[in-house]
Amino acid sequence: MGRIMAIDYGSKRTGLAVTDPLKIVASPLDTIATHLLVDFLKGYLAKEEVESIVIGDPRRLNGQMSETTHLTNQFVNKLKKEIPTIKIVRMDERFTSKIAEKSVLTMGLPKMKRQDKSLIDKVSATIILQDYLNTIA
């Protein structure tokens, strides 16, 4: 049984989250510089069995494509070419960054930690993954 991974794709940084092997719990994995993402994923997939990758689909409130949708689409196309054996699922990511910011705020972390954008990115990926798990449960 493989894990499920989630990606909150960004132009500079990308948040990653992953489930346990039984696909019960979504946990933050890391935040990676986007230009290093494909190499990181190849290395991770060589060590861990991942059955699918859920990628946040950036949309506006009205459901239309956002300014960053084309970047995410380009990344998905590149990922399909680089790692053709992995199943890719798109998941609506509206509000995940705001929810992540509020979650980090309620954790009681020091101000410097709360302002760490890489933490927000991986928490956002975790929220995307948990939302996906809720749809397949």
CA dihedral sign, ordered 120, 121, 123, 127: positive
Question: 68-79 burial string, b = 16+ CB within 10 Å, else e?
Answer: eeeebbebbeeb
Find out whether 71 and 11 touch, Cβ atoms under 8 Å. Answer: yes
- The structure's pTM equals 0.85
pLDDT at 117: 73
The pLDDT of residue 102 is above 80: no
Angle 74-91-13 from CA coordinates, rounded to 5°: 55
CATH number of the domain where residue 18 is located: 3.30.420.140
Bridge partners, 102 (sequence order):
none
Work out the average pLDDT over 101-105. Answer: 66
For residue 14, give its domain range: 3-136
